[in-house]
Structure 1
Amino acid sequence: MSLTAVSAVLGAVGSGMANEAGRWAWESTGGYVRRIVGREIPAPVAPGELDAVALMVSERLRQDPRLASSWTAFANRVSGPGRGTAADFTPRARQPGLPASTRFFTDRKEALKSLDREASRRADGTPRLALVHGAEGMGTSTLAVHWGVRRAGLFPDGQLYADLAGGTTAVRGTGTVLRGLLRQLGLPAEEMPTAADQLSEFFRGWVADLRLLIVLDHVHSAAQIRPLLTSAPAVFTIVVARSPFPGLDAVRVPVGPLADKDAVRLLTQLLDKPAIAAARATLPSVLARCGGSPYALRAAAPRLTEPVSGTQAGGDPVRAAAQDTYGALDPGTARLYRLLAVREWPALDAAVAARVAGVTPQDAGRGLEELADGLLLERDTTADGRARYHYRPAVRGHAESVAVQEDGIAGCSAAMARALRWYVDLSTSAAHQALPESWRVPAPSGTRETPAFESRGEALDALIAESGNLIQAVHCAEESGDPASAVRLCRSLWPLQLKAGRHEMLLPALRAGARLADAHLPGSADAGALHAQLAHTLTELSLWDEAEAEALAAGRAEEAAGHKRGHASATEFLGLLRLRQWRFQEAYECFEEADAVLATIGAGDAGTADVPRARALLERHRGRALRGPGRFEESRDRLETALRHFRAEGDTYNTARTLTDLAETWLDESDTAAARPLVEAAITTLSGQSAEYHVAHLRSMRERCTAGEHGAG
């Protein structure tokens, strides 16, 4: 009953809203707080607000033994198994996250020793941290990965890798990086806090007792990675950057040019001694042009005996190497190299390359492989087994400059437009196949080149795999003065929001889409849809003030457009936000308003077929809102009406959710006998549907029912 204990319960429930069970617990907590305090209390957001709510609750509990007993049972229910905690689920087998190491490696003895010393020094409460820095092409990333592979035995709990894309337009946000690292550890997204400011603490707690190596590649500032650093005694973090930067208390490991003798040794490893002997005449000029860059040396190795025109002479050895390799390409592959670089796409494949260059996917695939063999592109390892590629920044800079010279501004713009059209076509097709029943997803373009997917899951996986490119495409459309494409792309992101939870990653693109819709399509259904999507993501990220503004903007735009289905949906979104905020009466009023709008939809209006299901969902939401202030009988009437519809339609997902809501209302009144069959029915309904978190929550409820029945006996 102490203030500390109540604060701990509120904090634990608040950090667990990433899954359905966690959101149930949060709403239930709001209802309990309201009934204990005797009035509606807005949900706490900041730590100070949480402490204030905890103080009010603890004071009332000390005054009323009946409330104290009820709170104890409730606290055990919402903070125990089934709510979704790391202890409740066994993570997938931890996987090494490092990229493949290189076969040939030379020199760098002092750098390797520095990393050895930092990894093995006595723990003193400061992070084990090394900053490996050097110019592009000097092998900084290769050094970090090579050391990690050699010392894998020091890190039995895993080796994690994150590319922060510093120096590019695709810089990854801290929250996105943290979630990626946690996924590498096998932690499902449903276990991670929704609020970005909670992720860092959560990550540190999760890795506190693990023996891990973390490689953070292409970092551009201390601020970018500070939330990722931990003082856990057995976690070693290697930061890779172009140059040292202030604000990072790390061991600095400089990586400079290879000495000529080491450069020759690397070339000998790549080729053989007879090849080096045969190149005796050209070797000095090759070494001068490569400037000690391992990348440039690797690129030069196939042409070692060819005359070299000029030296590197203080310029960029990576660009010089790219120019040399480019000069040996056939015209078709050279054109592919140039045009793909016009925009900084994070992950290229044969499909987009074919569209950009106007060739078949087979020819594009062969061209990409040739570019990768010549080190003009980097190969990426992907989970789906498809070949993907990206440019080094300096190589892309070279390719883009050559494109401007040889293809002209018009040719570059046309190439970028073809890539943009491909991503619009791909995203609308995949989104439609992932959520065919959703009116929020735009109609697919219907081009012959877009792929057909075997299942909804495969279509969603394609959207996930392309998410970086789709975000880049939104910004490309904005900069190109093509708001229509930006809007279609953003609306195609809906399955990623609804089914994949990639909210933090998508937020900048959704903001851009809403901004463009307001500027070019004010008061339209498109503007309403994008504000609603943005409101949804902001709600899931616990940015509630912004979410409210966007939900209201969505409602205004949909009403102005005369799009009644969208107007009702936007009002429903506002009601769901109010539930999250523990503002139950306002939530109920929003659901009433949304239902009134749906009632005006006529037979010829858009969205008519969806009205019965939409009204059933609103009935369920009204039942949830009535439960907050303790109006349990009215709540159950609403929920049972919704349940009859979902059962009649064969909607097992919403049937199980509504059964769970009904069981929760009975448990709020400590009637375990009435709750038990509803819990059992929900578990049966979800059998075989991969709803692990929901089922775990239901099993916890069943345990409580069993305990209550034994207590009554």
Structure 2
Amino acid sequence: MTLRIQVLGPMRAWHDDEPIVLGPPAQRTLLGLLVLAGGQPVGLPGLIDAIWGDDPPASAVNVIQTHVKRLRRVLEPSRAPHSRSELLPYLGDGYHLVVPPDRIDLLRFRRLLRRAADTGATETLSEAMALWQGQPFADLPQLAGHPRVRSIVAEHRAALARLGAALLAAGQAGRAIAAFEEVTAADPLDEAGQAGLIRALAAAGRRAQAFATFHTVRRRLADELGVDPGAELTAAHQDLLTEDARASAPARPSVAAGRPAPAELPADVPGFTGRARELAELDRLTGPPDPTMIAIVSGTAGVGKTALATRWAHRARDRFPDGQLYIDLRGYDPEQPVSPEAALARFLRSLGLPGEQMPADAEERAALYRSLLDRRRMLVLLDNAASAGQVRPLLPGSAGSVVVVTSRDGLPGLVVRHGARRLSLDVLRRDDALALLRRLAGEGVAGDPAAADELAAHCARLPLALRIAAELVHRRAPATLASVVGELADHRGRLGLLSTGDPHSDIAVVFSWSYRDLPSGAARTFRLLGHHPGTDVDVPAVAALIGGTREQAREHLELLAGSHLVQRGGDRFGMHDLLRAYARDLALKAGEAGLPRAVLDFYLHTAATAMDLLYPAERGRRPHVPQPPGPPPVLRDTTALAWLDAERANLVATAVHAVAHGQEWYAVQLAQVLLRYLESGGHYTDAVALHEHALRAAESLPDPRGAAQLRINLGVLHVQQARYEEAGAELQRAVELAREVGDTLVRVRALGNLGHLYQWQGRYAEAARFLGEVVAVARHSGDRAGEARGLGNLGQVRLRQGRHEDAARDLRASAAICHDIGDAIGEAYALLYLGHVESSSGRSAEAADHYERALSVFAGTAEVAGTAYALDGLGGVDVLRGEHRRAEDRLGEALALFRRIGERAGEARVSNSLGAAAASTGRLADARAHHLSALRIAGEIGFRYEQSRAEKGLAGLPA
């Protein structure tokens, strides 16, 4: 019987066409949670938390086991009593659902969305929408607020909007109206959706209804949000008024196919006041008739350069349809300014470059960046630059884009060499300073203009100081403005700063006045934040920083945000670089030198916890990290990846800081903990930076074992980026280090990775010899995970050598061990290569079964490459069965996934598979093109197996 599950709407299941009774709501909720996990295991703690929240019954584990037992009974009616469940097995400390993804509507829905994003096919989007039968799990309100359910709803709305735009561009206005009406019904304040609806109504000739729609949403925006329509909605209305033919134009082009144009501008500054002349000057500098490519906004610290550039950028963003790039270069950070190489890596990722394709050389990155910006109209905002050298590699090479740089320096090198134009920003004009005070502190300022004028003078008319002073005026109420100003004047005199005339000294007075007003706990938090090397922090990190509770940390951050001593961005808090320097000075004067060890412990332990949730089977291969004092991190399997993504920059920054301050152990351990996450996510720039710092740290420590481990990790990272020569050098050095210290396990790990490298290079005999030694040593030492990995790699080598029976034996042994130790991903890779063995032997049914089982594990995980390889295998089976349309769909999806993550070895493999598929239907020109593409890629990266496969494919084609 074929099991099918529906969750897009009420939850339903069938065996063939026979409905299945899934039981009471709690039992269906359990099954729903397993479906949402996409084939990944869900631990008992996660299930208990999702079903009962903070108040689970004492019998929660028994209740779940009972639900699972009943689900197995109804989902697997033919399973023998007491036999192992294949569909709902127990894994680790929980369960996972093993169902092919095409039999679960949610997974089919997402696969169709990915295919539509890669191909742009409207029919594929429509097919995905047809699966939608209502809100996910409509009959299970307990799951309505689950983060993954909210994500599905958001995906559906975004896909509906894409479908509406595609239908409108294709001239199908009626169907576009239906799509946009569904989008706007879910969120009436969605301006993009409303704009699409207006255009669709106009294209269908329903102009009166289009006008009515605009006026209705304009009133709603004013009533509910107090704002006017944005640019997109206004443009749709203007098109109506002028009967512009753009009403049915396609969406703006993106920088990379299938990827939205970057929109990275920071939030506009609330309460921005004045600077009308400067905004007009930026318009003039960057506009016709003689636009400049580079504008520099220079001025003293705290004068409002970033605020001005950000306000102008938001006003001008519609001039740049290909997107806006932004980065804070932290040019005046004494420890960690952003290097041009790191900034280029950030921008290249924003422009759609997969991590694996990131050039190692800075000049190559700059050249690729210029190529991607060629003939584009983009805005590049480079904030807080220290020198022309920091900026120069980030400049486009052709006209069309505009770069705005903010700096305390005038950057004459950019003016002389690159024709940049400079806007020197002075302190606020008197009237603008008073207007800002009135706006922030209230009309009480207007009642005493003399005192307001004096307060502005005390703040040196610097916007940052004015904002802090205005908050102090609020807090001193109902005291008069004159008395508050008198207090500041007295404090200023006591500091001996009355007559310096130095704006930095003046602003320090305001800082100190605001700092003096803080309770002692919040004041200490402020000081310690000066030592944090990252760009922003969250509440748990600050709790570790101060050695207090999260409630205390939140209270302190709220006080600091209210005083404008930190800036809030959602649930994260950042600090102006002037304030950071001031806080650091205060900390040093108070004897609080350096970042507390508790912060390093917090980041390291939380990272280790996240990795244990994401990759539980590999826990033994990572260093043991003891739990620090204080509350444990609140992470679940659904939030672990999000935490790592949010904190990645902070983790690397704290590692660099630790090495510079004599805490080398931290960088070494963090690199070993994070390798798998950084590798599988394609975060190679961060991974290499972290490991290079960690390696320098390890080489200064007495234990060379850590250095050997890190060289192995660097070798792995080089292999992933097809840098085989560098990989071989690192791995050979690791073998030597391990031999010197007599560490057999480290030596075996290095040899195993050398064997993996030699496999890619076609050096099969050497690979087999190394991997055989790996298996023998791992088996002797009881390292089952190492034995499974060695057997899996050895099976791949046997397959490449054509020794199918030996390959099948090794791969089955690897799969069995992985199954026993709960390594679902390792088992899936073994099944994938078993599929290759069966396919090579002509057993297509057995191959398809292996591929389907592997795909069911990979789907919904971070293993995008595994999903793509499984699709490639299934596509090859479809070719053997004569199902050519299905084969091309699967192979096309696999190719798109490989290109998305930048795995060129996979791209070469699928190109060869597409060549075989085209040849089987007589499309010889297409077959030749695919094989030539595979031959080129395989030759560039030194992948001998696919190179040989491409050559054979070409040789088999008629001349």
TM-score by length of 2: 0.57
Matched, 1:367 2:552: no
Letter of the structure 2 residue corresponding to residue 706 of structure 1:
A
Paired position in structure 2 for 1:69: none
Paired position in structure 1 for 2:917: 706
What RMSD, in angstroms, separates the aligned Cα atoms of the two structures? Answer: 3.6
Which of 654, 658, 669 is residue 473 of structure 1 equivalent to? 654
CA gap 1:144/1:663 in 2 versus in 1, 3 angstroms: farther
Matches within 5 A, 1:82-121: 90-94=257-261, 96-121=263-288
Paired position in structure 2 for 1:485: 666
Paired position in structure 2 for 1:397: 581
Secondary structure of 1:239's match?
strand
Letter of the structure 2 residue corresponding to residue 350 of structure 1:
V
Secondary structure of 2:608's match?
helix
Paired position in structure 1 for 2:451: 282
Which structure's CA Rg is the greater one? 2
Matched, 1:199 2:330: no
Matches within 5 A, 1:525-564: 526-540=706-720, 546-564=726-744
Paired position in structure 1 for 2:521: 332
Which of 674, 687, 707 is residue 506 of structure 1 equivalent to? 687
Paired position in structure 1 for 2:884: none
The answer as to whether partners of 1:354 and 1:361 remain within 8 angstroms in 2 is: yes
Whole-angstrom distance in 2 between the partners of 1:557 and 1:433: 32
Matches within 5 A, 1:46-57: none
Whole-angstrom distance in 2 between the partners of 1:123 and 1:489: 51
Paired position in structure 1 for 2:72: none
The answer as to whether partners of 1:128 and 1:237 remain within 8 angstroms in 2 is: yes
Paired position in structure 2 for 1:269: 439
Secondary structure of 1:151's match?
helix
Whole-angstrom distance in 2 between the partners of 1:546 and 1:588: 21
Whole-angstrom distance in 2 between the partners of 1:348 and 1:87: 32
Matches within 5 A, 1:275-354: 275-278=445-448, 280-304=449-473, 305=481, 306=484, 307=486, 308-309=488-489, 310=492, 311=498, 313-316=501-504, 317-354=506-543
Matched, 1:568 2:568: no
Paired position in structure 2 for 1:237: 403
Paired position in structure 2 for 1:252: 422
After TM superposition, give the deviation of residue 231 of structure 1 in Å. Answer: 3.7
Which shows bigger deviation, 113-122 or 239-248?
113-122
Paired position in structure 2 for 1:228: 394
Letter of the structure 2 residue corresponding to residue 156 of structure 1:
P
After TM superposition, give the deviation of residue 601 of structure 1 in Å. Answer: 3.8
Paired position in structure 2 for 1:593: 770
Whole-angstrom distance in 1 between the partners of 2:441 and 2:794: 70
Matched, 1:610 2:786: yes
Which shows bigger deviation, 204-213 or 150-159?
204-213
Letter of the structure 2 residue corresponding to residue 450 of structure 1:
P
Whole-angstrom distance in 2 between the partners of 1:252 and 1:391: 27
The answer as to whether partners of 2:772 and 2:794 remain within 8 angstroms in 1 is: yes
Whole-angstrom distance in 1 between the partners of 2:285 and 2:765: 58
Matches within 5 A, 1:102-181: 102-121=269-288, 128-168=293-333, 169-181=335-347
After TM superposition, give the deviation of residue 192 of structure 1 in Å. Answer: 4.4
After TM superposition, give the deviation of residue 102 of structure 1 in Å. Answer: 1.8
Whole-angstrom distance in 1 between the partners of 2:301 and 2:254: 43
Matched, 1:451 2:595: no
Aligned residues: 598
CA gap 1:375/1:678 in 2 versus in 1, 3 angstroms: same
Whole-angstrom distance in 2 between the partners of 1:681 and 1:702: 18
Matched, 1:521 2:705: no
After superposition, the C-alpha distances for 1:595-628 in whole angstroms (9 at most, x for unaligned) are 214313455x26245313322223314655x5xx
Whole-angstrom distance in 2 between the partners of 1:175 and 1:256: 32
After superposition, the C-alpha distances for 1:157-211 in whole angstroms (9 at most, x for unaligned) are 32222222222223234344334334445x3635844544543343333333443
Letter of the structure 2 residue corresponding to residue 113 of structure 1:
A
Paired position in structure 2 for 1:25: none
Whole-angstrom distance in 1 between the partners of 2:733 and 2:296: 46
Letter of the structure 2 residue corresponding to residue 344 of structure 1:
P
Whole-angstrom distance in 2 between the partners of 1:661 and 1:206: 38
Higher relative contact order structure (alpha carbons within 8 Å, sequence separation ≥ 6): 1
CA gap 1:100/1:607 in 2 versus in 1, 3 angstroms: same
Paired position in structure 2 for 1:208: 374
Letter of the structure 2 residue corresponding to residue 264 of structure 1:
L
After TM superposition, give the deviation of residue 320 of structure 1 in Å. Answer: 2.8
After superposition, the C-alpha distances for 1:60-114 in whole angstroms (9 at most, x for unaligned) are xxxxxxxxxxxxxxxxxxxxx999xx99985344453211112333333343233
CA gap 1:172/1:461 in 2 versus in 1, 3 angstroms: farther
CA gap 1:134/1:610 in 2 versus in 1, 3 angstroms: same
Secondary structure of 1:267's match?
helix
After TM superposition, give the deviation of residue 510 of structure 1 in Å. Answer: 1.5
Letter of the structure 1 residue corresponding to residue 916 of structure 2:
C
Secondary structure of 1:466's match?
helix
After superposition, the C-alpha distances for 1:408-451 in whole angstroms (9 at most, x for unaligned) are 2xx435x6222222222222222333322224322232346232
After TM superposition, give the deviation of residue 380 of structure 1 in Å. Answer: 3.3
CA gap 1:293/1:639 in 2 versus in 1, 3 angstroms: farther
- What stretches of structure 2 of length at least 5 have no aligned partner? 1-116, 120-252, 474-480, 493-497, 872-893, 896-908, 923-956
CA gap 1:360/1:578 in 2 versus in 1, 3 angstroms: same
After superposition, the C-alpha distances for 1:315-374 in whole angstroms (9 at most, x for unaligned) are 414433321210111111111111222343332221122122232101211211211221
CA gap 1:699/1:246 in 2 versus in 1, 3 angstroms: same
After TM superposition, give the deviation of residue 663 of structure 1 in Å. Answer: 10
Fraction of identical pairs, as percent: 25
After TM superposition, give the deviation of residue 701 of structure 1 in Å. Answer: 4.9
The answer as to whether partners of 1:194 and 1:540 remain within 8 angstroms in 2 is: no
After TM superposition, give the deviation of residue 219 of structure 1 in Å. Answer: 1.9
After TM superposition, give the deviation of residue 560 of structure 1 in Å. Answer: 4.0
After TM superposition, give the deviation of residue 470 of structure 1 in Å. Answer: 2.0
After TM superposition, give the deviation of residue 137 of structure 1 in Å. Answer: 0.9
CA gap 1:346/1:277 in 2 versus in 1, 3 angstroms: same
CA gap 1:472/1:678 in 2 versus in 1, 3 angstroms: same
Whole-angstrom distance in 2 between the partners of 1:188 and 1:454: 30
Secondary structure of 2:621's match?
coil
Whole-angstrom distance in 2 between the partners of 1:602 and 1:418: 39
TM-score by length of 1: 0.75
After superposition, the C-alpha distances for 1:428-482 in whole angstroms (9 at most, x for unaligned) are 2223333222243222323462324321x63233223222222233234334433
The answer as to whether partners of 2:465 and 2:510 remain within 8 angstroms in 1 is: yes
The answer as to whether partners of 2:828 and 2:853 remain within 8 angstroms in 1 is: no
Secondary structure of 1:217's match?
strand
The answer as to whether partners of 2:349 and 2:355 remain within 8 angstroms in 1 is: no
Which of 811, 819, 829 is residue 654 of structure 1 equivalent to? 829
Whole-angstrom distance in 1 between the partners of 2:704 and 2:662: 20
The answer as to whether partners of 2:771 and 2:790 remain within 8 angstroms in 1 is: no
Secondary structure of 1:269's match?
helix
The answer as to whether partners of 1:572 and 1:591 remain within 8 angstroms in 2 is: no
After superposition, the C-alpha distances for 1:249-299 in whole angstroms (9 at most, x for unaligned) are 222122121122221122222234432323x45334322222221111111
Whole-angstrom distance in 2 between the partners of 1:354 and 1:615: 45
